[in-house]
Amino acid sequence: MSETGKQIIVLHGGTSYHLMGVEQPPVSDLIDRAIYAPRFRASDLDDAAIAVVACRTHPKHIVPLAADLRAFLDRGGMVVAMGDTQPQLWLPNVRYAAHEPNYWWWLMQGATLGLSADSPDHSFHRALAVAGCSWHHHGVFDPPAEARVLLREREGRPIMYEDTTSTGGRMLLMSLDPIFHHGRMHIPKTTPFAEKFFAWLRDERSRR
């Protein structure tokens, strides 16, 4: 029997895009709890199966929770670090290099962002096609050798990966920032991404 609970919780930093993007539908309907990170208590993880840190949540809110998140991982939990949350500061074994996104690739007719899927049998790819993940990315990871890379950028460098060996649980990291743009209503593609991503997390939870 698992030692973690059943909830999907999302930690956020109280910005307009978090209040709109996490605490309002559709995402609020797909998760169990949105938690304003400064109000987080370690006991919030008791009932959680998956803890997501929403895009651009300032690491000053999450770094103090690193030990709680590590304990949660080590009892079998899953932690998702979304884009621009600086997970190298609060998750183990993370090497990350930020870069200036290419916001303009789509101006060239027929152009693509150049993402490619890796680990093709991973359940994530049944939920989200590469095209649905292609707006821009904010950096690249250098994951541990045992990690499963899910998405790579044009040069083949990882922008999303899963690490099930660095802790007792499962870490998913990405340099995509869907909640930021969904919550700001700037990039339409990010809203279906957010819906499909959280629906996928629900499936992952029920498979446990």
Partner 1 sequence: MGHELLFLNSAFEGPGPTFDAVIKDGRLRVIEEERLPSLDPVSVGGLIITSHVDQRWLAARKTWVEACLDGGARVVFNGHVESDFIDGLERYQPLKDRSVAAFAVTREADHPIWADYAGDELTFRKGVAGFYGRGCNPAPAGATVINRLDAGKERLPVDWEWRRPRGGRVLSHAGNDLWVTFEQTELNAELVGRIVDWMEQRS
85 in Cβ contact with 57 (< 8 Å): yes
Q: Does 162 bind partner 1 (CB under 8 A)?
A: no
Confirm or reject binding of residue 16 to partner 1 (CB under 8 A).
Answer: yes
Q: In terms of CB distance, is 138 or 205 closer to partner 1?
A: 138
Site membership for partner 1, residue 204 (CB under 8 A): no
Q: Which of 58, 122, 157, 202 binds partner 1 (CB under 8 A)?
A: 58
Give min distance, CB of 54 to partner 1, in A: 12
CB of 49 to partner 1, least distance (A): 25
Spacing of C-alpha 36 from chain mean position: 17
- Which positions ≥6 away from 13 have C-beta within 8 Å? 36, 37, 54, 56, 57, 58, 61
CB 117 within 8 A of CB 150: yes
Q: Which is nearer to partner 1, 1 or 104 (CB)?
A: 104
Binding range to partner 1, per CB under 8 A, among 3-11, 56-64, 129-137, 150-158: 56-64
Question: Rounded to an integer, what distance in angstroms lies between the CA atom of residue 5 and that of residue 162?
Answer: 21
Cβ(11)–Cβ(21) under 8 Å? Answer: no
38 binds partner 1 (CB under 8 A): yes
